[in-house]
Structure 1
Amino acid sequence: MPVKGFKFSAVEAAVKKPGRLDLGLIFSEVPAVAAGVFTTNKVKAAPVVLGIERIKDGLCQAIVVNSGNANACTGIRGMDDARETSRLVAEGLGIADEVVQVASTGVIGQVLPMERLRAAVPKLVEGLESGSLDGVSRAIMTTDTFAKMEIRQCEAAGVPYTIAGIAKGAGMIMPNMATMLAFIVTDAAVEQSWLKKVFSESNDASFNIISVDGDTSTNDTSLILANGMAGNPTIREGTGDAETFRSQLQAVLLALAQQIVRDGEGATKFVEISIKGAQSVADAKKAAMAVANSSLVKTAFFGQDANWGRILAAVGYSGAEVDADRIELFFDDVQMVRNGVFTGGNAEEKGSEVLKRKEFAVTVDLKLGQGEATVYTSDLSYEYVKINADYRT
């Protein structure tokens, strides 16, 4: 499903090692209104520093991204390399340097092999005539085991438009945001200030409700470009078309976020954690994230051990208001806890059967109010340790 006015390219630059696509380019034929969300880590990679500055203008025409090297903790040299990469792409495309966004992912602390990037950029630009968004999605993978892409087709005032997104991420996944990159393109015409608002909200409702291992990266970048080439009347806040755009954008981002969790490093389980009955939404999210990030809970999921006590302990230290004598807990539809006490009988056996599934839900009802929150997480396996012990070799 094409996105009007956008072209894509991916090539091998041997950034870390040869034998795979590792340099991608997204190009809009016209300058697009743009918005971005970046890592909250105080140690920010050079491309993130550059991107935060450039996104202030609300315009972007190209995104160039490499995998295999994060260009993080590389000092002045790293900033120079990020700027040179941008300049090389801008010159190749014949556009202003300031409308190029640069992104990187991979090993921290190593300088980019600029001689390889310089050699690869002409091929990258040339490849726009035959490349695909899928190619870029594969070029940004690191420990990912599959490429992540999602597409929706919508209408505004009867005019069809498309929202398409790609993402990468499998480890160092936790708000805010995750060790991830996400690039969303749409040919819809969207008012820039509202796009910035709705994109931030959509990130909160997707990439900020997932966790694989509780780590936050130096390179997290989520960008959206809207070039208006579908020809629809500009979508503005407060209209029916705006609500359609919001819901479809959130659907794309949430689907990508869930793909990241399913591809968690070494993960064998996809788990939905839902907190109900909290005193507030903030309390519900605190409790949900505490459960999702608990290593003890996640290893119990991997071991298929219905250890509900670990879940209650995480809820208890989360900072949410809790009355231990009211809590109810379910694995899917199997009630494990009622009024803070194990339900007994064959609940242990039934609960363990639920945990043998590849996907299941954990629901905790605090019985204190109307606050609710849902987050998504994975288990923590032997393979996770192996992957990260060998990551740089």
Structure 2
Amino acid sequence: MKKWIRILALFSAVGMVAVGCGSDAESPAPTTTAAPATTAAPATTAAPDVGPLRVAIVAPSASDDLAFSQSMVDSVNALDRDIELSITDGTFIIEDAAAAIRGYAEDGHDVVIAHGTQFGASLMEIAPDFPDVTFAWGTATDTQGLDNVFAYAPAADEGGYVNGWIASSLTETGVIGVVGPIEAGDAVAYINGFEAGALAGGAAEVNVTYTGSFGDVALAAEAAEAHLANNADVLTGTAQMVVGAVGVAADNDVPWFGTQANQTSLAPDLVVASQVYHWEVVLEEMLSLRDSGVLGGQAFEINLANGGLVIEFNDAFALPAGVREGADAMITGIGTGTVDISAPASGGLDVVACGLDEVDGDLNFYNWSEYMDPDLITAFQDQYGVTVTEDFYPSN
């Protein structure tokens, strides 16, 4: 795009010279009228097209990790803008990340994305030195008072809740295992949401292991194996090291739930669904603000309501009857606010029962008490003349 514009400007200039020469040769008078050819000055108005927006991503893991780092790379590439993208990945060492962040700012990049909660302290030192550069930092919920820093975070507990609820329909042992990294950032939100959803759906136990590392694949595999040894028959996990845990799930034919990016390709027959981060939803808002002169100072969230979080199902995995429909209803309810995922789950079964002998046998109920609006429960009771009570879980 940039080269093409330059070529057009060059051809325009050449054309002007040719017209000028021809005019001199035939009649000098028109040469003065040729002066309006300096209305070619608009060619310099092509100058406002300063070329593509220069964006840099500094990420802690591989840009194709099918997890945290890839979620941002995919999102920037999804933006409908002319962007020149630079990436420094694999910066598990914070000092390396800080050097890359500063280097991109010094090099004149317009936007530098520090994609890692752990990069925050470094960014707070660097950003004030480059007041004309926009920095984006996540996952984080505040900008530390800096006018050229945008913060971003996912409501990862929302998709976690949905994944957990679905997982509860698949477990036969009642035990579900979770492999986490360091207890921080969106990992905690996802895991807390998953646990709440699974318990609400009827799982007996949700066992969580934090490995203490975002990138140790071997540790993640060991944690997954330990969960299986303790009777877990469904697994999930978060962060870039989960490829190790997914490998264990695949080797043992155990269903897996992903988050951050679509992980179906890691185990096409066993990945049930993935909560996918579509950061482009808030990135576009940030860039629009930057276009208007606002370089930072605001925090953004992606969630189910704004389309920044999307549950992407693996159609190759057959879910029990009614589960997909129940999950879709739950996603809608969370997005509209009619489903309260913050409601504490009472371990074990916490669902609504109806006198099924008084109702058409084709009706199935899936955890209504956790996400069905009370007014709808009342309407249901009035319509069917039954009493809705707790502590009963009809089979799917």
Normalised-by-shorter TM-score class: under 0.3
Taking structure 1 as the reference length, the TM-score comes to 0.25
Higher relative contact order (CA 8 A, sep 6+): 1
Larger radius of gyration: 2
Greater share of residues in strand: 1
Taking structure 2 as the reference length, the TM-score comes to 0.25
